[in-house]
Amino acid sequence: MAHDVQHYNLDQKFDFTAATKKIVFTVLGIGAALLVLGIVMAIFGGGHEEAAEAEGHAFHWYERLYANLWINNVYFTGIAIIGVFFFAIQYAAQAGWSTAIIRVMLSLGNWLPIAGILMIVTFFIANHDLFHWTHAYLFDKASPEYDSIIDGKGSFFYWPMAKGTFPVFYIFRMVLFFGFWVFFFKKFQSFTYNEDIIGGTTNWYKIRSWSAFFLIFFAVSSSIAAWDWVMSIDTHWFSTLFGWYVFSSWFVAGLSAITLITMFLKSKGLLEMVNENHVHDLGKFIFGFTIFWTYLWFSQFLLIYYANIPEETVYFVERLSSDIYGPFIFVNIAMNFVLPFLLLMTRDSKRHGVFLKLVCALIIAGHWVDFFLMVQPGTLGHNGGVGFMEVGMFLIYGAAFTFVVLSGLAKGNLVPKNHPMLEESYNHHI
């Protein structure tokens, strides 16, 4: 390692102090209190049940709880896997500028094992309340509720079992994706640990090779996961760019989480090597992929709008025409495009923490709204909305995610001291 890097503490570690943990658990407690309040209001409110019965079916408060679990499961799973994805991108591209913060990127993956358990358990408990295609009568041609369209898609969920029985193929994909995501994450962790101990370039080349395999698997698995976990909620509807759309939402939120953690560590006197040039690059990524998300949102909307095919337009019609979800369409665009675009347009705004902290917090909340709009209309219909239950669940997941990620960061070195491109990161200037 060159001499000019030596005056930095390359063995620095993050100390997850009791004070920081107290803040995280306070947010967790507030979220739990709001969630309980929301559940109590849903149980004794009665309005949704009466509305649902008027539509011909019974609605129960726990259906809204399940929908919120699914929204946050999918959302925070995406942020976690994006951390691993962005880490792998740095090695595949042989990037040097990001060397000082690659451990921050990888730390998001600590949530993946927990996310996998939560996703699988939630699906087994709540599948009939979340996914219309899980009802057996839809595949029974003798049933008055038989659905030929869903029947035609049944093999995608149930193969090799009979349609309407046990969704073997669906569960298999979920287990496969989480299994390989966690496998790659653990593999990257072990290589980075060995790099700190052994030195040299052997582990760097290993990570680069494994990153290539991971990126190929991620490209396929993230798209299919978007179809399985989100698009299949509206079983009749489909979009050929939906996988890209979900990825873009995950990616911007993940970049924002990486930036917030980096700024937090900087505020604690760590990552001294990270300066306004590195922060500027993170800001450019967020700015650029905010526009990319908007491009995909508008492309999907415009194509469906001018084609005006009923089986496609229904997705937007039921959202735009709803008093519950209609306003959130515009909130979604404002939080995820208009405000970030305006706030990060100048060079200076992307180089100063105060702007990035504001925009990143806004984006993380905004893309939760994006997933709320993807999931709730198809699961709850007119019985959805944003209330204490939604805010509480979001805070619980956010606090739990933060605790797991920071706990993982505290277990190893923050700086990859033997990384062959650390010198390049030190001299990074734009």
How far is it, in rounded angstroms, from Cα 72 to Cα 240? Answer: 24
Residue 19 confidence (pLDDT) above 90: yes
Structure confidence by residue, pLDDT tens digits, 39-83: 999 888 755 554 444 444 677 889 999 999 999 999 999 999 999
Query: Which pTM was predicted?
Result: 0.93
How far is it, in rounded angstroms, from Cα 226 to Cα 82? Answer: 14
**Better-predicted residue by pLDDT, 351 or 82:** 82
Structure confidence by residue, pLDDT tens digits, 367-386: 999 999 999 999 998 888 99
Residue 274 confidence (pLDDT) above 70: yes
**Better-predicted residue by pLDDT, 143 or 392:** 392
The dihedral over CA atoms of 272, 278, 283, 288, expressed in degrees to the nearest 10, equals -160
Structure confidence by residue, pLDDT tens digits, 220-264: 999 999 999 999 999 999 888 999 999 999 999 999 999 999 999
Closest Cα partner for 139 from 167, 170, 97, 169? 167
3-state secondary structure of 413: strand
The pLDDT of residue 162 is 84
Query: 248, 367 in Cβ contact below 8 A?
Result: no
Structure confidence by residue, pLDDT tens digits, 161-172: 888 789 999 999
When pLDDT is averaged across residues 28-42 and rounded to a whole number, the result is 95
The pLDDT of residue 3 is 44
Confidence label for 2 from pLDDT (cuts 50, 70 and 90): very low
Confidence label for 332 from pLDDT (cuts 50, 70 and 90): very high
Ranges 51-65, 136-150, 323-337: which has the least confidence: 51-65
When pLDDT is averaged across residues 182-202 and rounded to a whole number, the result is 92
**Percentage of residues of the chain with pLDDT beyond 90:** 67
How far is it, in rounded angstroms, from Cα 82 to Cα 91? Answer: 14
Secondary structure of the chain: what % helix, strand, coil (to 5)? 75, 0, 25
The pLDDT of residue 1 is 47
Q: What would the two tokens of residue 186 be?
A: 């653990």
Query: 343, 358 in Cβ contact below 8 A?
Result: yes
Q: Burial of 21 by CB count in 10 Å (0-12 exposed, 13-18 middle, 19+ buried)? A: middle
Residue 151 confidence (pLDDT) above 70: yes
When pLDDT is averaged across residues 204-209 and rounded to a whole number, the result is 94
When pLDDT is averaged across residues 303-327 and rounded to a whole number, the result is 91
Ranges 53-57, 140-144, 215-219: which has the least confidence: 53-57
The pLDDT of residue 125 is 95
Torsion sign over Cα 22, 13, 93, 348:
positive
Q: Domain map of the chain by residue range?
A: 24-48+59-122+187-423
Structure confidence by residue, pLDDT tens digits, 285-306: 999 999 999 999 999 999 999 9
The pLDDT of residue 424 is 81
Average pLDDT, the chain: 91
When pLDDT is averaged across residues 414-422 and rounded to a whole number, the result is 86
